[in-house]
């Protein structure tokens, strides 16, 4: 049984609809959302859709993607799209593909671009009408257009690289950057110019009442069956539960909170109090020992127990599959027929995008597997036994819905916490990460050092997203002997991954001691000791965020335990990662002295070093998303 997708949008004439052709972009569904926000109907369809399908649409947007146009695995578009006489906008890979088809060339340049970049635009182009001659945009690519194809001319450059092209006669435009994300400050204006000025569409599409449609979806899918919802206490699962409570009778809903032992300080107790206030009959399952020793099977091979695993993807899959197994046992303990029980999840669009779920894209790469999209969850989804009323939404939209449902402000603005909990905020490792070219990369990094700042390569890996694909690469660390200039540090952090492609994250390490030679680590696993260290550091950070009313202005603040010892036996380090975002697909770190008061950050550092035993240093993550994901794993 193919699971039904929620439909929140009204039908309008197909001739006013835009097709978003999916080339495997992490932001494909975000393009759909942006177009709909501009009151134009849009749908995500396969890149290789048939000519008959393409004829149904008024205009096309070809998304970005992780492949090179020269790769054997490169997704291709039907050549018919260029003969229909309809407007086309190519984004990132989409621009490279249309240029390649037109006889132009695409090459991997010495410099790649990941993160915020300044582009120079020709504002006499219809695409950039009403914009400034220079704009800040998000780039994430390794290949670049080298020679433009027949009929195209360059209308934008980024420090010498071609950033935008156009063929006015055929109404075909391409941008190397991503106008659909918040980080491209005037991206929505560019999309508006394409839709209305170039494609000549009318803003006649309207979003219907989300709450009503979500309730209708739940009733349609569930019928008279029972529903089991696993509640973390975050806004996503809580909103999902509130919708269930409105859509179904109380005796149909079984709400469970699983205390995995990977929760923040006092998390489970707070979650239980908050959810009982909603009138939910909540059952709390204590499963700390089950999770720490849990294993799973991946591609036919059984993993080591969670407390001995270092690979972040394995950790996520173990935790996610164990969630399902504990839930299945709970169903048995409740005396229910598992075949008649549907699992409800608060999965959001970014969760499924980063997991490369087939629900959002057939070509996107997996950035990280979310606990609500593991193999076992996908099996249940294929059987029609999973409902996800929020799977069309992003975090800001869910918060709007939650407010409309009457949820308390404390629940609505609760700091997002990943389902796998602290388990994926402990960077596990048994030895330093050092590839054969470690010394060579370190020399490349050292070129960014100045009289004020020292930059060093550190022997650990973090997860990132570069060129629409997953990277698992080095961390670069910065120290300084003087008071840090945070604007200069942010600029430096943006520059490093563009040149040193083996680095996807840059962090500033507090303390005047230089990073002379950092090549050793403290072996680290997810266990009671490391969980206690991280839990205490996390509590310090969150208490100060709450005290200074920073929960709304800073979207998310993961606190991460690193195996870096800096020469102190058995010591580890703590990273503070802030993220400011609306779409939760891209974002920037809070700048100390602006969004985050410097004295608050300094107090966090001092308290962690004074109160958490075994911590050598504290660092502040300076990386935007991309090239670094919000979480380090």
- Which residues are the active-site residues? 92, 178, 180
Q: How far apart are CA 501 and CA 117, in angstroms?
A: 16
**Residue 626: is the preceding peptide bond cis (ω within 30°)?**
yes
Please answer whether residues 188 and 38 qualify as being in contact, where contact means their C-beta atoms are separated by less than 8 angstroms.
yes
User: What is the distance between the alpha carbons of residues 288 and 306, in angstroms, rounded to a whole number?
Assistant: 11
212 DSSP 8-state letter: H
Strand, coil or helix: 377 = helix
545 closest CA partner among 584, 579, 498: 579
**E strands in 122-195:** 134-147, 153-158, 161-167, 172-175
Phi/psi region, residue 261 (left: phi>0; alpha: psi -120 to 50; beta: rest), is left
Is residue 412 within 8 A of residue 443, CB to CB? The reply is no
* Residue showing tokens 């680095």: 503
CA end-to-end span of the chain, whole Å?
A: 33
Task: Report whether the peptide linkage leading into residue 627 is cis, meaning its omega lies within 30 degrees of zero.
Answer: yes
Phi and psi of 164, rounded to 5°? -160, 145
Please write down the HEC assignment for all residues of 260-323.
Answer: CCCCCCCHHHHHHHHHHCCCCCEEEEECHHHHHCCCCEECCEECCCHHHCCCHHHHHHHHHHHH
Q: Residue 282 and residue 362: Cα distance in Å, rounded?
A: 37
Residue 337 host element (H or E): none
Interatomic CA distance for residues 157 and 163, integer angstroms: 5
Q: What gap in Å lies between CA 101 and CA 165, rounded to an integer?
A: 14
d(CA 98, CA 619): 43
């Amino acid at each position: 049984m193919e699971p039904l997708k929620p439909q929140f949008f009204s039908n309008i004439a197909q001739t006013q609809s835009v097709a978003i052709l999916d080339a495997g972009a992490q932001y494909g569904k975000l393009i759909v959302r942006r177009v709909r926000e501009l009151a134009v109907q849009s749908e995500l369809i396969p890149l290789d859709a048939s000519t008959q399908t393409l004829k149904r649409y008024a205009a096309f947007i070809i998304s970005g993607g992780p492949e090179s146009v020269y790769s054997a695995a490169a997704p291709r578009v039907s050549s018919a799209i260029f003969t229909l006489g309809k407007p086309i906008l190519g984004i990132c890979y989409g621009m490279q593909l249309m240029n390649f088809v037109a006889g132009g060339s695409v090459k991997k340049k010495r410099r790649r671009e990941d993160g915020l970049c300044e582009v120079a635009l020709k504002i006499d182009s219809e695409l950039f009408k009403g914009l400034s001659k220079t704009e800040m945009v998000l780039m994430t690519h390794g290949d670049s257009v080298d020679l433009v194809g027949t009929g195209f001319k360059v209308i934008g450059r980024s420090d010498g690289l071609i950033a935008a092209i156009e063929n006015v006669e055929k109404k075909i435009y391409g941008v190397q950057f991503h106008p659909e994300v918040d980080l491209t400050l005037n991206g929505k204006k560019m999309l508006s110019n394409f839709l209305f000025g170039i494609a000549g569409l009318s803003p006649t599409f309207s979003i219907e009442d989300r709450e009503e449609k979500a309730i209708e979806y739940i009733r349609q899918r569930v019928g008279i069956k029972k529903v089991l919802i696993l509640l973390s206490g975050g806004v996503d699962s809580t909103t999902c539960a509130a919708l269930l409570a409105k859509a179904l009778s109380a005796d149909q809903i079984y709400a469970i909170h699983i205390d995995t032992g990977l929760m923040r300080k006092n998390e489970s107790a707070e979650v239980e109090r908050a959810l009982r206030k909603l009138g939910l009959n909540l059952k709390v399952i204590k499963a700390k020992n089950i999770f720490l020793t849990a294993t799973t099977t991946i591609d036919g091979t059984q993993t080591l127990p969670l407390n001995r695993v270092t690979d972040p993807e394995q950790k996520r899959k173990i935790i996610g599959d164990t969630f399902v197994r504990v839930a299945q046992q709970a169903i048995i303990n409740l005396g229910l027929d598992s075949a008649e029980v549907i699992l409800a999840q608060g999965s959001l669009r970014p969760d499924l995008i980063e997991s490369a779920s087939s629900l959002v894209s057939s070509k996107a790469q997996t950035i990280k597997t979310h606990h609500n999209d593991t193999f076992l969850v996908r099996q249940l989804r294929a059987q029609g036994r999973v409902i996800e009323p929020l799977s069309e939404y992003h975090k800001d939209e869910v918060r709007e819905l939650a407010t409309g449902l009457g949820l308390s402000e404390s629940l609505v603005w609760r700091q997002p916490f990943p389902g796998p909990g602290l388990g994926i905020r402990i960077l596990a490792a048994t030895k330093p990460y050092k590839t054969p070219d470690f010394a060579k990369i370190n020399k490349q990094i050292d070129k960014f050092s100045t009289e004020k700042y020292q930059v060093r390569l550190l022997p650990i890996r973090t997860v990132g997203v570069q060129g629409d694909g997953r990277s698992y690469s080095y961390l670069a660390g910065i120290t300084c002997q003087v008071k840090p200039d945070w604007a200069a540090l942010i600029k430096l952090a943006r520059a490093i991954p563009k040149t040193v492609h083996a680095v996807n994250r840059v962090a500033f390490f507090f303390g005047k001691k230089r990073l002379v030679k950092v090549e050793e680590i403290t072996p680290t696993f997810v266990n009671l000791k490391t969980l206690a260290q991280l839990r205490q550091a996390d509590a310090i950070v969150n208490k100060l965020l709450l005290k200074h009313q920073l929960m709304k202005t800073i979207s998310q603040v993961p606190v991460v335990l690193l195996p870096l010892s800096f020469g102190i036996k058995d010591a580890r380090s703590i990273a503070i990662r802030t993220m400011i975002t609306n779409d939760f697909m891209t974002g920037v770190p809070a700048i100390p002295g602006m969004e985050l008061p410097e004295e608050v950050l300094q107090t966090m550092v001092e308290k962690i070093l004074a109160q958490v035993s075994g911590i050598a240093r504290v660092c502040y993550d300076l990386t935007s998303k991309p090239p670094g994901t919000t979480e380090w794993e």
